[in-house]
Chain A
Amino acid sequence: METIIGIDLGTTNSEVAVIQDGQPRVIPDENDRMILPSFFGLSEDGQILVGEAAKNQYALYPERTIKSIKRKMGTDELVKIGDNQYTPQEVSAIILRALKQRAEKYLGHEVKKAVITVPAFFSDAQRQATRDAGEIAGLEVVRIINEPTSASLAYETKHHQEEKILVYDLGGGTFDVSVVSIHAGLVEVLSSHGNNHLGGDDFDEKLYLYIFDYLKNEFSKEEIEKLNDDQRFHARLLRAAEKAKQELSDRPYASIEEEYLTERDGKPYHLSLEISRHLYEEMIHPLIEETLEAIHTALQGANLNPSQINQFLLVGGATRTPYISNLIQERLNITPRQELEPDLCVAMGAAIQAGMIAGEKVASVLVDVTPYTFGPSVLGELNGMPYPDVFIPVIKKNTPIPVSKSEVFYTMYDFQKAVEVKVYQGEDPDALKNILIGSFMVEGLSRVPANNEIIFQLDLDLDGILRISATEKRTGLKKNIVIENAMSQFKEEEKEKAKDRIDQLFGPSSPTFSTGEEQAPTKEVRERIVQGKALVEKAEKILPVIPEEDKEEVINLIEGIQDNIQKSDLGALTMEIEELSEILFYLEA
């Protein structure tokens, strides 16, 4: 079978993926980087540079480096590098070739065919240019697919019924929202809307400006002017802002601590600043609001209501900010899906499409996710009424695991000494309708007015171990518990529930369900039964060669064990098992 690769040819970054063992796999470079920056350049000595290396020299040799060529695809504009001129197709071809080589190195054989993704709004000319770029790179472009289509494929490979899917793609510097209709393998982009200059970089910028504003109060005007010229200072601030953004994805607070950032009055100045998620969300709110408007525009373009959308997919690295999914949930009453790596899922979808064309067996993308939501209960409002057991999801259903999330909660009244933490699994806003999986008290809180901050944290790992902790923020006073097997325990509960439903269906007095067997046997009994069955099997196997004088006894014991398994009689079963195994031991000897 010929390998066909899937390529996400992006404005700032590109990726290549391939199907391996039925699963799409994004191919890393030798430094384990999945992403290839969409940069092309010529080095000082005329060497061709693609990706990271070209990006590295961009500040030094902008005249010999090209970025964001995707914005020029489909135009006749030539780009100049040194003494040469290139068409946009040629520049894209160079990037595609680098991806092709990466795949060939990884697979160990030549690659000749590819599926390439393009934005839904690309015109025919832009699509053709992309196709040409592929051919120049030595790749037969077996199909050009839309990025939102690709994302939908990554999330689901089989669409039996017609589905309307909304793909919200917020990358580093571009934003697109598309409505896609998928039916029986046929994909149609119903509408698409976006902003070419909006993305996660703007979030960083907001945080950066906030920190800088803070410093403006700390320093004199002259000092600030001096700092403004210091590239190193700016670089540190921007890095700190990016780190804070990432931290705020999972935590209610991010602390920025930059020691020896600069000098003040001849002494070292250390920056120490805490930013709450709430504040960060306020900062980025106008940007998110803009994207929500784009959603409405796209929905209008497709003539659909939000309620007609079957799937809402979050794509692009910037969607890791939880405020986005929270606001979408709140406004549109849809739970967006984002369990796949948002930077890579377009490339994965391209690989899936490629695999399907090649005739490869492609399974749904496997990700370890939590099947249920976990969170505490708090005093809040339910259906407009005050209610003491409102469920607050902290780790949401379908979140990839391992995961660590925390939220801040507040004490209710002044000088509150203790809080009771109750953790539930389930989806109902009423915590009491969910399943309580653990509870504990945090005692000895500080004597402070109400709204003492308590950080509640959940850590769920791949083995289903859930660590719950509650920490008083101002003192660090902490209490924690560990729930083993948080997910399988839940499944047991589910099974019970299902059984109850079935029981109800047949009526509780139905004899089929009231036999001894149905009374869930204890673990010990279950173990004995398994042991007994194994022994019986063994005995029956050697029965023909057993001497006559022992045969009768063995047969009696076998019947006895089978009888007691039926009855789940632990005592008698244990005795008979012991007897039989003893006889078998001697017979075998």
Chain B
Amino acid sequence: MEDNQFNKLEDPALSNKEGHMIRERINRLEIEQEELEIEQEELEKEGEGEGEGEGEGEGEGEGEGEGEGEGEGEWGANFKSELTAKFGQWLEKLEKQCLRNVADKTQMEKGSAPPSDLVSGQPDLFTLFSELTALKQETKIANRQSKAGMDLWQKMYQSMQQTIDALQREQNQRRTELSSLKTLHIRPLLLGILDIRDRLEQSIAAAEKACSTSWLIRLAGGKKGLEEFLEGQKMTMRNLDRLLGTWGVSPIGAEGNNFDPFTMRAVEVEHRSNAANGLVIEEIRKGFLLNDEVLRSAEVKVNKQEEKK
């Protein structure tokens, strides 16, 4: 995905660059063409000089257009016009080829075959080849540059990615900080409520005791409504527990389980031989979790079997 994005981004840049290179190349070739034309003119002048010597007029040269097809045998006479035409063709071909594909150098070399016919234009062929090598070289440089550009992009992209990651991390950290800040604030309040809950529990225990011992008194008509009071208190307790539950507070439930040092604190030890070692006999002060964390550890009485010697 990322790589694809990359290519998309990078391709136009590269082709732009290449296009630019090609244009430059064409410009140079045009200049060369002009130079060649000038040389050609000079050659023509020389030819004129020859023609003068042979007694042939300019008129022959003017008729080169028609004389091309039949003039194969008469190489010497059609030489100038033929060369110009061929060179013109070759230039066209070269230009097209350059536009089509710069990289395909071998084809270009093939395409430049016609000038090999250009026997007398040897210095130009040399220039051409040296230009080609230069072109090759420059393409290489261009490639290298585009590669460097690509690397730069890659680096930029990576550093951007890193920044994004860092921001993400920071955001996450802020989030956890915020949530811990929330629990940090809610904790003391919940602990206070748990303290009140302990007291309510004690009052229920006291009321229960009173109820159980007072049935005789009750028969005698005393302590009216004590059971109803107790019932009401128990209801209050259930309501309180439901409220705590909605805030994510749940009891640890130590009694009858094995001692767990992560959620319980041993405050009393008993030595019963008929109970398992490490069994929680009594939860003296109830422990609670806030979501998955210990809000208040349970204070427990644990059984410990005396070591047999």
Q: For chain B, residues 238 to 288, give those with C-beta under 8 angstroms from any C-beta of chain A.
A: 258-259, 261-262, 264-269, 277-278, 284-285
Tell me if B278 and A44 are in contact (CB < 8 A): yes
Pair count A-B, CB < 8 A? 69
Tell me if A53 and B261 are in contact (CB < 8 A): yes
Tell me if B284 and A43 are in contact (CB < 8 A): no
Tell me if A32 and B180 are in contact (CB < 8 A): yes
Tell me if B293 and A235 are in contact (CB < 8 A): no
A413, B202: Cα distance in complex, Å: 45
CB-CB under 8 A for A260 and B304, given A43-B261, A235-B285:
no
List chain A residues, Cβ under 8 A from B199.
259-260
Check: B302 CB closer than 8 A to any chain A CB.
Answer: yes
Chain A interface main SS type: mixed
Tell me if A32 and B261 are in contact (CB < 8 A): no
Contact-size category for A: 20 to 34
Residue on B with the closest CB to A32? B184
List chain A residues, Cβ under 8 A from B202.
259-260
Check: B294 CB closer than 8 A to any chain A CB.
Answer: yes
Could you give 18 example pairs across A and B, Cβ below 8 Å? A31-B293, A32-B183, A44-B258, A49-B261, A56-B264, A56-B297, A60-B266, A60-B269, A60-B302, A61-B266, A232-B284, A235-B285, A259-B199, A260-B199, A260-B203, A260-B206, A263-B209, A268-B206
List chain B residues, Cβ under 8 A from A235.
267, 284-285, 299
List chain A residues, Cβ under 8 A from B301.
231
List chain B residues, Cβ under 8 A from A31.
293-294
Tell me if B268 and A55 are in contact (CB < 8 A): no
List chain B residues, Cβ under 8 A from A56.
261-262, 264-266, 297
List chain B residues, Cβ under 8 A from A108.
169
List chain B residues, Cβ under 8 A from A30.
293
Tell me if A58 and B266 are in contact (CB < 8 A): yes
Q: For chain A, residues 1 to 46, give those with C-beta under 8 angstroms from any C-beta of chain B.
A: 28, 30-32, 41, 43-44
Check: A266 CB closer than 8 A to any chain B CB.
Answer: yes
Check: B5 CB closer than 8 A to any chain A CB.
Answer: no
List chain B residues, Cβ under 8 A from A41.
261
List chain A residues, Cβ under 8 A from B294.
31
Q: Distance in Å from the Cβ of B86 to the closest Cβ of chain A?
A: 66
Check: A57 CB closer than 8 A to any chain B CB.
Answer: yes
List chain A residues, Cβ under 8 A from B278.
44, 60
* Highest count of chain B CB atoms <10 Å: which of A43, A49, A52, A57: A57
Q: Distance in Å from the Cβ of A247 to the closest Cβ of chain B?
A: 13
Check: B213 CB closer than 8 A to any chain A CB.
Answer: yes
Would you give the 0/1 interface string for A561-586, flagging 1 where the beta carbon is closer than 8 Å to chain B?
00000000000000000000000000
List chain B residues, Cβ under 8 A from A60.
259, 266, 269, 278, 302, 304
List chain A residues, Cβ under 8 A from B261.
41, 43, 49, 53-54, 56-57
B residues lining the A interface (CB < 8 Å)? 169, 180, 183-184, 187, 199, 202-203, 205-206, 209-210, 213, 258-259, 261-262, 264-269, 277-278, 284-285, 293-294, 297, 299, 301-302, 304
Q: Distance in Å from the Cβ of A307 to the closest Cβ of chain B?
A: 42
CB-CB under 8 A for A32 and B187, given A231-B284, A259-B202:
yes
Check: A184 CB closer than 8 A to any chain B CB.
Answer: no
CB-CB under 8 A for A57 and B266, given A32-B183, A232-B284, A235-B299:
yes
> What 6 additional pairs, Cβ within 8 angstroms, besides A59-B269, A266-B213?
A58-B266, A60-B269, A60-B302, A61-B266, A235-B285, A260-B203
A residues lining the B interface (CB < 8 Å)? 28, 30-32, 41, 43-44, 49, 52-61, 108, 231-232, 235, 259-260, 263, 266, 268
Q: Distance in Å from the Cβ of B295 to the closest Cβ of chain A?
A: 8
List chain A residues, Cβ under 8 A from B262.
52-53, 56
Q: Distance in Å from the Cβ of B236 to the closest Cβ of chain A?
A: 14
Q: Distance in Å from the Cβ of B204 to the closest Cβ of chain A?
A: 9
Interchain CB contact (< 8 A) of A44 among B259, B264, B269: B259
A112, B308: Cα distance in complex, Å: 45
List chain A residues, Cβ under 8 A from B268.
59, 231
Q: Distance in Å from the Cβ of A293 to the closest Cβ of chain B?
A: 36
List chain A residues, Cβ under 8 A from B277.
44
List chain A residues, Cβ under 8 A from B183.
32
Residue on B with the closest CB to A63? B307
* Highest count of chain B CB atoms <10 Å: which of A31, A58, A235: A31
List chain A residues, Cβ under 8 A from B265.
55-56, 59
A32, B199: Cα distance in complex, Å: 26
CB-CB under 8 A for A59 and B293, given A44-B259, A53-B261, A259-B199:
no
Tell me if A57 and B293 are in contact (CB < 8 A): no
Tell me if B206 and A59 are in contact (CB < 8 A): no
